Amino acid sequence: MKTRFLKIAAAAALTAAALSPAAMAQDVTLKVHHFLPASSFAQTLLIQPWCDKIAKESNNKMKCQIYPSMQLGGSPPQLFEQARDGVADVIWTLPGYTAGRFPSIEVFELPFMMQSPEATSKALWDYVDQYAKAEFKDVKPLAFHVHGDGVFHMTNKPIRTAADLKGLKLRAPTRTTNKFIALLGGTPVSMPVPQVGDALSKGVIDGAVVPYEVVPAVKIQELVKFHSETDPAEPAFYTATFVFAMNQAKYDSLTPDLKKIIDNNSGQALSGMAGKAFLQADVEGKKMTTKNTTNVISKSELENWKKIGQPLTDDWVADMNSKGKNGKQMLDGAKALIAKYSGGK
């Protein structure tokens, strides 16, 4: 009887141990989905380091399984929905791929808004917190950021003035940039980055506007002959916004200690780091274009472009006003935040 009692007690103790919070806490694997190759700077400089950091801080209780190149299915414009619906646990994408869905943050995609990707990315995080939370209520944002200066990558001739764009078909990432290219005299063609290589090789487009960091992912240096930059002393003629976001239900399911690790590795600091990483990636991407011809569009020409692009800013303010918001206040707020993190420049 005594032996039987001891066996029952031992079994009960084992059951209790198995039901304890520590034992019930399971290792977590986050499915991370994005649209660029595994070799892309987005993965090697942002996504993978983030995953490595949360794994280290959680003693490998929380890890990532990264799915590049849309390996979980769907198309780049569907990534935000995948994070919302739990198809993926974490995604990295451009809000601009779903035109008009995130109008408040398009202020950062207006012509000549961005000069420092790091400062502008920090500003973007704060701006969303102040003005655009509702647009991202269906996910848990981890970071918002922008990339470095946009560059014209052309197959047959460089761009020196707006007149050089006449009659040319150019890929652009967002509806704002599409409108700007049209105002400058070109014919915009909207498409996600993964389609750019095929479109260039088949002559569907005459060029593409992307930052240098995209070059290796698409092998742009092999598909074009000319790279036209804007004067580096001037703000970029365009930039695009990005979101790194998590499925809210997945975050809510984490234990408090794992939630804390996510919280400690998201926000303004991560946003700024992402902007800085993409600037570093531009330097690396540009190195791959040395066999081609590069020119710089002059400051005097860009002054003309600023005048041409002003209606886009006016239209954005009017659009915000029509939605019951204060467009001028939002525009001024974005500029003030950029100035704040740029050291008041």
Q: pLDDT digit string (tens) for 227-265?
A: 999 999 999 999 999 999 999 999 999 999 999 999 999
> Nearest CA to 272 among 140, 160, 129, 117?
117
Q: What is the pLDDT of residue 83?
A: 98
pLDDT value of position 9: 46
Q: What is the pLDDT of residues 120-134, one digit of tens each?
A: 999 999 999 999 999
Report helix, strand or coil for 210. strand
Statement: residue 15 has pLDDT above 80 = no
Q: Is the pLDDT of residue 21 over 90?
A: no
Average pLDDT of the chain is: 93
Read off the pTM.
Answer: 0.90
For residues 273, 276, 278 and 282, what is the CA-based torsion angle, rounded to 10 degrees? -160
CA distance 55 to 70: 23
Position 26 confidence tier, pLDDT thresholds 50, 70, 90: confident
256-264 vs 48-57: helix crossing angle, rounded to 10: 140
* Lowest-confidence region among 8-17, 30-39, 322-331: 8-17
**Can you tell me the mean pLDDT for 39-65?**
97
pLDDT at 305: 98
Sign, CA torsion 174/178/181/183: negative
Q: Which residues of 217-236 are buried (b: 16+ CB within 10 A; e: fewer)?
A: bbebbebbebbbbbeeebbb
Q: Determine the Cα–Cα distance for residues 85 and 72; give it in Å rounded to an integer.
A: 13
54-113 pLDDT, tens digit per residue, is 999 999 999 999 999 999 999 999 999 999 999 999 999 999 999 889 999 999 999 999
Question: Which pLDDT belongs to residue 274?
Answer: 98
Q: Can you read off the two tokens belonging to residue 158?
A: 């460089």
pLDDT the model gives residue 4: 52
Lookup: tokens for 146: 């922008």
- Give the chain's domains with CATH numbers: 26-148+240-282 (3.40.190.170), 151-238+291-341 (3.40.190.170)
